[in-house]
Amino acid sequence: MDEESNYTWAFRGYHLDPAQFTTAMVHLYRGELSRSNTWRTRLDATTNWAVVSAGAALTFVFSTPQNPHFMLLLVLILILTFLHIEARRYRYYVLWAYRVHLMETDFFAAMLAPPFRPSSDWAAHLAESLLKPTFPIAWWEAIGRRFRRNYVWLTTLLLLSWGIKLGLHPTPALDWITVVERAAVGLIPGVHVMITVGVVYGVLMVLAVTAPSALLSRIALPGPLRRLAERLWRTTGPLVRVPRSRARIATIITRHGRQVAFQILKELERGVTALKGTGMYTGEARDVLLCAVTEVQVPHLEEIVYRVDQNAFVVVGATESVQGWGFRPFEAPS
């Protein structure tokens, strides 16, 4: 047996055997888990800021009838700023949680059940996230998730309190026109203020409803309707595209289809579908292989193909989505 085969990883004279490789993965897991917990704590901090600000504003505004109503609107703007900060922190939290999730489900959990080895895709997905880190969710999706989780209650409470303040202070209003007039802020008419507040609140509610959630994913929808909803979310989302898929589809045209497919199955552990083709210029028969891989597996795939057949023709293209084993969706934690 070749001496190099006893090692899991080798580089410039340094070698890691399986035990050392597992130790390295444990340290990576601890580091990623620590960063995930750190960003989770930061999420709670911004929520606490928002709760304290809302409580202080309500106490001040309703302490005396002469205190201005627009203090609630100023605090509402402050809370929306906290929402923006929390959405940014949430995207970082999801990134670290994604890596932790990969190691927990595809590395450590694989040690507990047959065949007692990691799946073929987990390392590729983890390497993608480490080499080319991108947020698993879009910014607008993060806004919708955090608003639905926490801020919908705070903003709704502030708006209801604002309406009560307009109706009661400095004296109880006798009609709706008086309430609208009291909503004025400086030279801005009350009707314009109310329309602006309503539009902002409505946009946030739309984002909260359209942001994907575990509950919505469990709703049984007809196949065509679910595919349409998923396509609309991926291509448009709420106002912005979500991060692009890193799955790749490889089309391989070769004279040695069986040998190439065997090596792909052996080294990449990816499924291969073989078709029969004919070169239109030469009229010779060719094997056409289709294989879905991750982005970091593309160089290895090309190395396998050209090792077997230097005259092979390889086309690698991006895919909109790949469903099936090895390409599982990730549900961001709340």
CATH of the domain at 254: 3.30.70.120
Q: Which of 73-77, 243-247, 317-321 has the lowest average pLDDT? A: 243-247
Residues 169, 278, single domain; the answer is no
Residues 289, 183, single domain; the answer is no
Q: Which candidate, 212, 208, 214, 79, places its Cα nearest to that of 144? A: 208
With 70 as the cut, is the pLDDT of residue 233 above it? no
Residues 108, 36, single domain; the answer is yes
Residues 70, 216, single domain; the answer is yes
Greater pLDDT, 135 or 77: 77
Residues 138, 214, single domain; the answer is yes
- Could you list the residue range(s) of the whole structural domain that residue 287 is in? 247-318
Q: Give the span between the Cα atoms of 257 and 281, in whole angstroms.
A: 20
Tell me, what DSSP letter sits at residue 269? -
Name the percent of the chain lying above pLDDT 90: 33
Domain end among 235, 260, 284: 235
Residue 21 lies in a domain: yes
Residues 185, 311, single domain; the answer is no
Q: pLDDT class for 293, splitting at 50, 70, 90?
A: confident
The mean pLDDT of 186-210, rounded to a whole number, is: 91
Domain end among 184, 207, 235: 235
pLDDT at 237: 39
Q: What is the chain's mean pLDDT, rounded?
A: 81
For the record, the structure tokens of 236 come out as 């448009």
Q: Give the span between the Cα atoms of 89 and 146, in whole angstroms.
A: 10
Residue 85 lies in a domain: yes
E strands, the chain, are: 9-11, 14-16, 247-254, 273-278, 285-294, 313-318
Residue 334 lies in a domain: no
Residues 162, 287, single domain; the answer is no
Provide the 10 A C-beta neighbour count for residue 287. 20
Residue 333 lies in a domain: no
Residues 54, 185, single domain; the answer is yes
Residue 260 lies in a domain: yes
Residue 271 lies in a domain: yes
Number of folded domains that form the chain: 2
How many Cα atoms sit within 13 Å of 200 on the Cβ side?
16
Residues 193, 292, single domain; the answer is no
Look-up of token digits 């490889």: 250
With 90 as the cut, is the pLDDT of residue 9 above it? no
Residues 145, 269, single domain; the answer is no
Residue 211 lies in a domain: yes
Residues 229, 253, single domain; the answer is no
Residues 27, 146, single domain; the answer is yes
- Residues whose CB falls within 8 Å of the CB of residue 59, separated by 6 or more in sequence, listed in order: none
pLDDT at 301: 87
Domain end among 211, 235, 259: 235
Residue 110 lies in a domain: yes
